[in-house]
Amino acid sequence: MGAGDERRREGTMNNSRVRRPWRVAAAALIAGTVLLSSGCGHGDKTPSWQGGGDSQADGGTASATPSPTPTLSTVAVVTPAADAKDVVAISPIKYSSEDPENTTVTVTDAKGDEVKGVLDKDEKTWTPEKALAYGTKYTITVNGTASEGKNGSTTSAFTTMAKPSKVIRVTSFLGDGQKVGVGMPLIIKFSKSIPEKYRAEVERRMVVTATPAQTGTWGWISPTEVHYRPKVYWKANSKVFYKVSLAGVPLGSDYYGKSDLTVDLNIGRSFVMTVSNKSKQMTVKENGKVVKTIPVSLGKSATPSSSGTMIVMDKQKHTIFDTTDTDPVNGYKTPIDFAQRITWSGQFIHAAPWSEGKQGHTNVSHGCVNVSEAMGAWLFSRTLMGDPITVSGTEEKLKDGNGWTDWNISYDQFKKKSYL
């Protein structure tokens, strides 16, 4: 359902420490930088010059060869080492400088084209905007300020690693241009489990930008799935952009991220449903104002509805509920109108004309939120995927993971699912 993949454009709200003014534009990306070793330590460790004359056959003293005067510079490339091979394609370049504020770093490919990147003058690093091409030679030029006896520039070259054969795909449940409810979590999935030691770095490389700004966090649902939710419901009619930058990123056991992705989506109006088992009524608020009160029938004692906050995950105007596969004796096969799934275990909001006489008075369903045919149609015409519904007062509590249960726990509890 709207799954994104690597065909999306290449590109939470990370809290970065305060930088000087000239670093503000780079802060969001640098917060997600992978500070990896360059993977480039294969050079000869012996000195580049080994002075000393040849021994004389007659035992005479060897003539001394003067040591060449080294070329001094106020800047230097620290990593990758000069002419390093197999450098990880997303590695930052580390340099030294006697005058960081007046130092620039340029990286060019084999054609001489400049590569886009972000310069962090505090950390003295340059990080590529996206993963470099595999198996490609690049040249680094660092220009600083010359001083007496020292020049102000240096160059160095390195070659990136070959294209990896073991990759992990990243996909987004949501796609560009979708409009979702205020309770919609951002859902990212991986084609292979991400080892725990790499999850914090993965989170740093998943940047969420909301307009207007809103506080939120990622939380791991499983080794292959991570969700993002704001502290409170999304602000109505806001815009959300998120970027996952994992192309070329090491993810353990010789696996690397296959690609980057970006998603632009819209949050709709606030539409919040609250159901009380005590009153057998659903209260519907739109943008904070009560717009409808609807009689309901919830699950009977043998098949109670879950108490907790759930999210509309799927909508089907007409469908058939078939439980005969799991319960051949007591199962049923029933046509259903205006079904809106809220749990994986099979709880829905839906029209139930057969229970209209019980709605508002008695619970007779198999765990679903029964409403009348008219109210089922009314709700169905107004809800979005991602709209929240909270049920209270039933015999059973909503189990974690039985649906998109991100809102069924407090924000502080959800933050504990993060590895940052």
Which residues neighbour 132 within 8 Å (Cβ) at sequence distance 6 or greater?
A: 89, 90, 115, 138, 160, 248
Residues found in the chain: 420
Give strand pairing partners of 307.
397
Q: Alpha-carbon torsion 310, 316, 318, 319, what sign? A: negative
Work out the number of other CB atoms within 10 angstroms of the CB of residue 300: 16
Give strand pairing partners of 83.
none
At 254, the amino acid letter reads: D
* Residue 309 near residue 273, CB atoms below 8 Å: no
Work out the number of other CB atoms within 10 angstroms of the CB of residue 242: 23
Which residues neighbour 330 within 8 Å (Cβ) at sequence distance 6 or greater?
A: none
Greatest alpha-carbon span in the chain: 119
**In whole angstroms, how far apart are CA 329 and each of 270, 319, 333, 368?**
42, 22, 12, 20
Q: Alpha-carbon torsion 72, 73, 79, 81, what sign? A: negative
Q: Which amino acids are annotated catalytic?
A: 350, 368
Give strand pairing partners of 371.
351
Which residues neighbour 269 within 8 Å (Cβ) at sequence distance 6 or greater?
A: 236, 237, 286, 287
Owner of token pair 């998120």: 242
Owner of token pair 């979702």: 180
